[in-house]
Amino acid sequence: MQAVHFGAGNIGRGFIGSLLYQSGYELCFIDVNREVVDLLNEKKEYRVVMADELREEHMVRNVRAINSAEEADRVIQAIVEADLITAAVGPVILPHISRLVAEGLRKRTSPVNIIACENMIGGSTLLKEKVLEKIPQEERNAILSRTGFPDAAVDRIVPNQSNEDKLTVVVEPFYEWVVEELKLIGDKPAVEGITWVPDLKPYIERKLFTVNTGHAAAAYFGWQTGAQTIDEALRMKHVAKTLQAVLNETGRLLVTKYGFDQSEHDQYIQKIIGRFANPHIRDDITRVGRAPIRKLGGK
């Protein structure tokens, strides 16, 4: 099985790429970072290390990469041959990959699903809209009949890092990849680790109002205390107490709106706080708290 993944950064390699490899896919990364692309083609493998006491690691092998800024034709051909297409490039970059995706889909004859694994609501839907803008009106229905754009919610902490081996990526052991099943075309992609759900909205809002909100709150409260990292901030009792209060409040909203079990959601909150406090993840407050206008502003 062949998988094409847009975005060879830490999240692409350490989260999505790792799960795809473990599920039996041969990986082709698409990126504009010449250094990373060249290293992937040279080494054809990289290490993923767990950020915990055991520091377990595994290898992701048989990978290749294409520089989309220099080899557009090869990217298009890779899309034509792919059994699954994924992306983790960031919401702002999604529209910029749409032209190549559109050209690849126009040359395909077999069904394929495209999953945008972004920190946003409706990432695949946004990509679908941008792709359709690049396709002639008379071709759109045919392409939509054989292309699925299921939305996804993804969750894994991959902190900023500087490793001697530039392809090595350190990630937390926890991950969650939830995908909306009803928007698939054809059979479910054979990916171990995906949770398939009929309606994504409850899960993506649970993630946004617990993980994203909690992470940002810990950063802002921690910044006021002078802490440099999230785990350092949470060692201060008043920061931890305030974070708990924030997540209790968003939890009441989620339980009321979507009918989550209160006890199970309380356990989910504690798991999330435990992840933030992981001393093996030195997550900079400035990284987590950046873009406050986007995170705190109204719609």
Q: What is the pLDDT of residues 186-227, one digit of tens each?
A: 999 999 999 999 999 999 899 989 999 999 999 999 999 999
150 Ramachandran zone, left/alpha/beta (phi>0; psi -120 to 50): beta
Tally of CB atoms within 10 A around 68: 21
Report residue 35 as tokens: 């250094």
What pLDDT does residue 202 have? 93
What pLDDT does residue 291 have? 82
CB 101, CB 131: distance < 8 Å: yes
Could you give the residue ranges of the DSSP H alpha helices within the chain?
10-11, 18-22, 34-43, 72-81, 94-107, 123-133, 137-145, 201-207, 213-225, 230-234, 237-258, 262-276, 285-289, 292-296
How many angstroms separate the most distant Cα atoms in the chain?
61
pLDDT in tens, 138-165: 999 999 999 999 999 999 988 778 888 9
Q: Distance between CA 87 and CA 17 in Å, rounded?
A: 10
Q: Distance between CA 169 and CA 163 in Å, rounded?
A: 8
Band (pLDDT 50/70/90 cuts) for residue 72 is very high
Report residue 288 as tokens: 């987590």
**What's the predicted TM-score (pTM) here?**
0.89
Task: Please name every residue paired with 44 in a beta bridge, in sequence order, or none if there are none.
Answer: none
* Average pLDDT of the residues in 16-29: 97
pLDDT in tens, 268-285: 999 999 999 999 888 899
For residue 287, which amino acid is it? R
Report residue 117 as tokens: 């694994």
